Structure 1
Amino acid sequence: MKDSILQWENLKYRICKTSNWEKVREWMKFFLLIGEYIDKKDKINMYISCLDEFYPALFIAKGVIDSNLSSIECKLRDYDINNDLKIGDNVTYLVGKEDGKDIWKKAVVINIYNDENAVKKEWNPYVELKFEKKKKNEFNHKIPRTIWSKKLRISSNYKSTAGSVVKMNKEIDGYFKDKYSKQVLNHIQGTNKKQINIIGLKVQKEWESYNEFLEFLEDNIKYKISDFIFANDSQYSISNVNFIKTINSKSAMENNIPTVVVGDNSALTLSKLKTGKNIILA
């Protein structure tokens, strides 16, 4: 936690482009630390009473996201694709470029295996994909571990087309791109995992309004809320925040990530949606 406190000593904010940058206040640091704390716990339930729930929820979400991304770098070397991918899954694969644009195609995983004849051990395991071509012809292609992060997307936001080619949503830029390594960036775009559940009817709309005036500055990186909060309906290639607005929400709860319930009404009406790691702000 000490390293995190020191990190956030450099975090500044302002609520108007013409105003001066100010260091984040103690209450902001508190909720950032709460976010990191709950991200690292296996199981926890916490109730926090506060006058305003929307700002605390925002800083908790940022704490969770920063904590999660900071830990990815250490885990990438031992990353096991079998935890995120299984035979039969639909994926997208970068097949090349055309007019300077990346060409991604839909494919199906038909095998994940170690090739005993591989020239280099680090190429294992391989992922074998099945692509559909025109006139219903099919062909298979095996992908070595060394290029997964650059070319294989286990889950990503894209627009389907008539054929096998897909139009990928915007790539991540700004804050994530400037702060984290290319390896981390490739991993989060390739796996597209949710990092936090936010339960509350008005939270997403409220945060979108904050995006109009609230800015952050961290190690000379200037960014806004939209640079680290990517909603379920994100126009980017990832969606890292799962917004649940009603009990009948189309977005399924993610059980293995932190959940923040925002407001008394949400705590009462959506209590069944809680997971193993919960914070209630009311």
Structure 2
Amino acid sequence: MPHDALTHEQWTANGWTFDVQVGGPSSGEPVVLLHGFPQNAREWDAVSRLLHEAGYRTYAPDQRGYSPGARPQDVDAYRMDHLVADVVSLLDARDLEAAHIVGHDWGAAVAWHLAGRHPDRVRTLTALSVPHPHALVNALRDDPEQKRKSAYMLFFRRRWVAERTLLAFDARLLRKSFGGSGVSQAELDRYVRPLQAPGALTGALNWYRAMSGRESAEAAPVRVPTTYVWSDGDLALGRTGAEACGTFVESDYTFVELPGLSHWLPDQAPERIAEVILARVRS
């Protein structure tokens, strides 16, 4: 099988069954790619192939709520403790002592907490869009722009109302959220269609319903080599949190600002994102 081919596997981890996209040379250093909302592991397809060409082995799971076999109903089942434990258990499932961790959006939030709590399992960290949890909490408290950008989260926390509204008219609002990304209709379908399955969007939204500002404010500093990537066209994350992110990294740290791009970085600029990841993992 060519190294750039992606295979779909199902792994049992933390008591659940996760769908995982796997590819690259079997001998390559492992890179775990964590997706955000409202996407899934497919957001990493183009990036993964570039990492495979560079000799790395990639693992991209559909996370809790997104994998049909890992979709608990209880909101508390989506607290960060469980989300981090999922990734640790996924590493254990393939006897991966440690891996390079890459996360975008909610995947970045999980990656920050994973690196803070389990630095022995994280070789390097590359976080896209979402800064260190403590930096984001501070920005939400002090920066009116970030408060405005994050107002949508209050709507997402409204059970059933958010689901009905986001899925109405063939998920028109979900599709509109990708505005300015350059994502084609076919690419949108690979994200939206799975969320139209019964219970799927509720699982994804439960991440917002379970989130805790206190948990974020108490997030540990990160002590592994880290790159944080932010785009100035991001409609959800502002400059205040982005520029403060490095305060909470006690290791080699690089801040990469990508001008003119939106929130959807792996889709919009896979070559640039792969380049940034490779610069970090090779360091």
Q: Which has the higher helix share?
A: 2
Q: Which has the higher strand share?
A: 1
Q: TM-score, normalised by structure 2?
A: 0.26
Q: TM-score, normalised by structure 1?
A: 0.26
